[in-house]
Structure 1
Amino acid sequence: MSFGAPQNDFEVDFNTLSTPGAGNALELDEFTEDRPTRQLLKVTPGPGADEDYERLAAIFRPVFAQIAAGAKERDRNRILPFEQVGLLNRDRFGALRLPVADGGHGARLSDVFRLLIELSEADSHIGQLWRAHIAFVEDALRLQDEQLKAKWFARIAAGQIVGNAYTESGGNALGTLNTKASQVDGRWVVNGEKYYCTGTIFADWTTVAVAHPERPGRQIAVVSTQHSGVKILDDWDGFGQGLTGTGTTEFHQVPVDSFMPEDPNDPEASIFQLVLMAVQAGIGRAALNDMRSSVQARTRSFTTGTGVPVHREPQVLQLVGEVSAEVFAADSVVIGAVLEVEAALQDAQLNAEERFAVCELAANRAQTIVQPLVISATSKLFDGLGASSTRSSCNMDRHWRNARTIATHNPAIYKARIVGDYEINGVQPQRLSVTGDLAAPTGHHAS
């Protein structure tokens, strides 16, 4: 886009426009549907990308549009998006990161996250349910075992999806797991029960965090979700993100397909967290879209206003501007953090511990600031529209409910402390192990 002198009647000299009412300045009413407007900024704010990204986006944007069309109704009526996941699979969304030679799209990590923000703008539930798969693909790309890598590349290229079953809902001591791998007739099998199994109900495979009798610490077994010993329940009852398949998965003598190598400095946790931040950025965009269209369409005004149409009401315009700024900031922070992780993963000068620390700190900093930005934006949505926007038929509250639900994860309140401890005391972020129950202090007696 050229910023030189105007080339036709509809291009504007921005130097002239610096004086109100001068030159080619046009009133809003003078713009018509067929008049090019030369907006320098995208209607939905966010960092731009390059031709490689636009090539990928051209493949998936038509699918995102189909997904967006029914998002509000699916959320209201709790319709799990199996059909929509199938549409993404048709174009091999899950194979974005695989090299082209291996049946993938050859996307960069930052490309995946930009697309994930756009997908989450269409439907935040669908963005989140890819969380485990995106992290698993990053693990597969780093595999040293070429045979294992080839097996998973082939499956992912064929459109198969990987879910997760890491967390137990209670009853296990902190750092230990009740879900176990054991040998039966010479074959490893998994027995146990997991919760928060986001995406597994849509997946062909799932990773399972298990206790292993021959290996210390947490081990990751991969099993088929199609085995008769796997029972997946859609029993997540949170007030937000209800269509992500986040619920219980039971394993009864389920054969292990493979064990994934355990790396104490695996940056997987940062990928998991950044997926949630991308979903938050998408929610912010969706809320801004709804706010924009609702203000533009609104004819009813208030006696306490200034007597002008709502779309010209100064305080409403200020509010929309604030939401736009918050969405822009959230989007920019997420992409900035992803770019930092992308660079760290490629930096041969970093050792494993340093790489882990860079990735964790990037994700933690992003989570610390993105959460309040998006919660604020999704709450302000209602201030500009009045009480009618709270009607169940509008389902405007889904944006806030979904953002608020995601903001509780892992939990977000601890992230700033971890960053601060590093900044002041040089304390490295700790690798996540196993969530569980704390033992009662010695001498403690229940009342």
Structure 2
Amino acid sequence: MPAGPSYLEPGTAAIADLRGRFQPIFDRIAEGNVARERDREFPRQQVRWLNDAGFGTIRIPQSRGGFGATLEQTFELLSDLAVADANVSHIWRNHLAFVEDRLNAEVSDTNDRWIKRFLHGDFVGGGWTEANNVTLANMVTTVTARDDHWVVTGSKYYATGSLYADWLDVIGRDERGELLTALVRADDPGVTLVDDWRGFGQRTTASGSARYDGVRAERGDVFPAAERFGYQPHFYQIAMLSVLTGITRAALRDGSAALIDRARNYPQGLAERPADDPQLLQVIGEVSAEAFAAESALARAAQSLDAVVAIRIAGHGSQVRQPLIDAEIAVSQAQLVIIASALRATTAIFDALGASGVSEGLALDRHWRNARTLASHNPRVYKARIIGDWLINGKDPVPDLVARHRGGQGV
């Protein structure tokens, strides 16, 4: 994490004001959610609505033309957006992460240009992952110096949001083997974006492949990957947890509406009207508790990242390690809670409904499919062990990304 002055400032926004601006847009996005999911229609217009309203600048301080939101407020809004459309919410993950990275960067003419690009509405997509089990340690994408610029060649998978982007965030190795991040124009003739995502969830997030064939990157748009902001892994993870929290809330909303609409009950029911049946009401109550747990865990985890930011703003970089550990534990605990809540809620809600609940018209299956897909990106199976190892043995849970870049095991 850079030691010099950054663009970060304490949050100044009020969540009520932020919701007042963006909730009407979320509501418009929600109107076509089921049809887009059913027809696999990409939400280009919906992403543009948000961009035009400045959604990509919510973390930029008000003094620099943004909204001045805290991280907790940012992830609350992402969750609200996911209630409307989980795919649209997930599309914003890469953009918001790169904005956060530039806010953490030292003030410079180059980074001033990036802040102006964000304020102008430039949108960032892309992906770091390569197919065929390639990891950071054996990355094959290259970022090669050429006179006054760089050239990027390689391919990526899980390039979420790429079809909506003006810029693509690419990671690769230079001639010395060091990992670099390069920002390239999505409309460069050497860029090929392929909609080959075949997951049963995230159908409209543009999470397919991206290929780069001698793509130009300007000198000011290439950065050492090891210098990316220190809580970057936490940010990416909690953005995904925001979407899962929104899915849980959406399952509660749609399941409740479907129960209210049920006209008849089964012979074993405890009331003639399903909405009066105590057992079915119990299901709704339990699903509401899952949504409550997810929202609470999300808030606690986000607050832990705001604590890291506060250390950075205060200029106490040497004291950031413990807050990073606290954030790692909080985000990992939140991952265990939120994934479990999302998967239980998106399954249990059908217990309150009859056979009509599986109607393609309702598309309630989209909530489970999207939740299951998101939960599979960063498997929770390892998290409880890592937390336990920290609590019992004091083993540092924060990944050493620099060691991973160089092929080491990290800590």
- Give the structure-1-normalised TM-score: 0.83
Aligned residues: 387
Pick which of 355-364 and 69-78 moved more: 355-364
Pick the aligned partner of 2:99 from 128, 137, 150.
137
Asked if structure 2 preserves the Cα contact closer than 8 Å seen for 1:209 and 1:219, the reply is yes
> How well do the aligned residues superpose, as a CA RMSD in angstroms?
2.0
Asked if structure 1 preserves the Cα contact closer than 8 Å seen for 2:13 and 2:67, the reply is no
Q: Which residue of 1 aligns with 2:350?
A: 382
Distance 2:337 2:106 in 1: 36
Structure 1 residues 259 and 185: alpha-carbon distance in aligned structure 2, compared to 1, 3 A threshold:
closer
Asked if structure 2 preserves the Cα contact closer than 8 Å seen for 1:269 and 1:432, the reply is no
Structure 1 residues 164 and 361: alpha-carbon distance in aligned structure 2, compared to 1, 3 A threshold:
farther
Pick the aligned partner of 2:361 from 377, 393, 398.
393
Once the two structures are TM-superposed, the CA of residue 56 in structure 1 deviates from its matched residue by: 1.0
Q: Which residue of 2 aligns with 1:346?
A: 310
Q: Which residue of 2 aligns with 1:37?
A: none
Distance 1:57 1:110 in 2: 13
Pick the aligned partner of 2:273 from 309, 321, 329.
309
Q: Which residue of 1 aligns with 2:5?
A: none
Give the partner amino acid of 1:65. D
Distance 1:232 1:434 in 2: 31
Once the two structures are TM-superposed, the CA of residue 265 in structure 1 deviates from its matched residue by: 6.8
Q: Which residue of 2 aligns with 1:442?
A: none
1:266 aligns to what SS in structure 2?
A: coil
Pick which of 142-151 and 370-379 moved more: 142-151
Pick which of 406-415 and 395-404 moved more: 406-415
Distance 1:182 1:352 in 2: 33
Once the two structures are TM-superposed, the CA of residue 63 in structure 1 deviates from its matched residue by: 0.4
2:137 aligns to what SS in structure 1?
A: coil
1:221 aligns to what SS in structure 2?
A: strand
Pick the aligned partner of 2:43 from 51, 59, 81.
81
Distance 1:284 1:109 in 2: 20
Asked if structure 1 preserves the Cα contact closer than 8 Å seen for 2:245 and 2:291, the reply is yes
1:141 aligns to what SS in structure 2?
A: helix
Once the two structures are TM-superposed, the CA of residue 173 in structure 1 deviates from its matched residue by: 5.9
1:256 aligns to what SS in structure 2?
A: strand
State the structure with more CA Rg: 1
Structure 1 residues 173 and 375: alpha-carbon distance in aligned structure 2, compared to 1, 3 A threshold:
closer
Asked if structure 2 preserves the Cα contact closer than 8 Å seen for 1:265 and 1:352, the reply is no
Pick the aligned partner of 2:392 from 403, 424, 428.
424
Q: Which residue of 2 aligns with 1:40?
A: none
1:290 aligns to what SS in structure 2?
A: helix
Distance 1:61 1:111 in 2: 13
Structure 2 regions of 5+ residues with no counterpart? 1-11
Asked if structure 1 preserves the Cα contact closer than 8 Å seen for 2:123 and 2:166, the reply is yes
Pick the aligned partner of 1:260 from 223, 246, 249.
223
Asked if structure 1 preserves the Cα contact closer than 8 Å seen for 2:101 and 2:228, the reply is no
Asked if structure 2 preserves the Cα contact closer than 8 Å seen for 1:180 and 1:212, the reply is yes
Equivalent residues in 2 for 1:10-409, closer than 5 Å? 52-170=14-132, 172=134, 175-214=137-176, 216=178, 218-257=179-218, 258-261=221-224, 262-263=226-227, 266-347=230-311, 348=314, 351-409=319-377
Asked if structure 2 preserves the Cα contact closer than 8 Å seen for 1:265 and 1:431, the reply is no
Asked if structure 2 preserves the Cα contact closer than 8 Å seen for 1:167 and 1:435, the reply is no
Structure 1 regions of 5+ residues with no counterpart? 1-49, 439-447
Once the two structures are TM-superposed, the CA of residue 196 in structure 1 deviates from its matched residue by: 0.5
Asked if structure 2 preserves the Cα contact closer than 8 Å seen for 1:222 and 1:256, the reply is yes
Distance 1:122 1:195 in 2: 26
Distance 2:148 2:120 in 1: 30
Once the two structures are TM-superposed, the CA of residue 357 in structure 1 deviates from its matched residue by: 2.2
1:183 aligns to what SS in structure 2?
A: strand
Distance 1:277 1:255 in 2: 34
Once the two structures are TM-superposed, the CA of residue 111 in structure 1 deviates from its matched residue by: 1.3
More helix by share: 2
Asked if structure 2 preserves the Cα contact closer than 8 Å seen for 1:379 and 1:400, the reply is yes
Distance 2:127 2:275 in 1: 48
Asked if structure 2 preserves the Cα contact closer than 8 Å seen for 1:122 and 1:286, the reply is yes
Asked if structure 2 preserves the Cα contact closer than 8 Å seen for 1:174 and 1:434, the reply is no
Pick which of 348-357 and 245-254 moved more: 348-357
Distance 1:310 1:129 in 2: 37
1:207-260 Cα shifts (integer Å, max 9, x gaps) = 1110111363x2211111111111111111100111111110000111113112
Asked if structure 2 preserves the Cα contact closer than 8 Å seen for 1:168 and 1:435, the reply is no
Give the partner amino acid of 1:227. D
Distance 1:387 1:434 in 2: 53
1:17-64 Cα shifts (integer Å, max 9, x gaps) = xxxxxxxxxxxxxxxxxxxxxxxxxxxxxxxxx981101110111100
Once the two structures are TM-superposed, the CA of residue 380 in structure 1 deviates from its matched residue by: 0.8
Distance 2:336 2:223 in 1: 30
